[in-house]
Amino acid sequence: MKQKLIMNLLLAMSMFLALAGVAQAAGDAAAAKEKLSMCEGCHGIPGYKTAFPTAYHVPKIGGQHAEYIIKALEGYKNGTRSHPTMTGLSKTLSQQDIEDFAAYYSKN
Return per-residue pLDDT of the chain as tens, 108 residues.
655 555 555 455 555 555 555 444 489 999 999 899 889 989 988 888 888 878 889 998 999 999 999 999 999 999 999 999 999 999 999 999 999 999 999 998
Is 19 among the domain residues? Answer: no
Is 100 among the domain residues? Answer: yes
Is 7 among the domain residues? Answer: no
CA atoms within 13 A on the CB side of 17: 6
CA-nearest of 62, 5, 18 to 39 is 62
With 0.85 as the threshold, say if the pTM is over it.
no
Is 72 among the domain residues? Answer: yes
Q: How many domains does the chain contain in total?
A: 1
Is 64 among the domain residues? Answer: yes
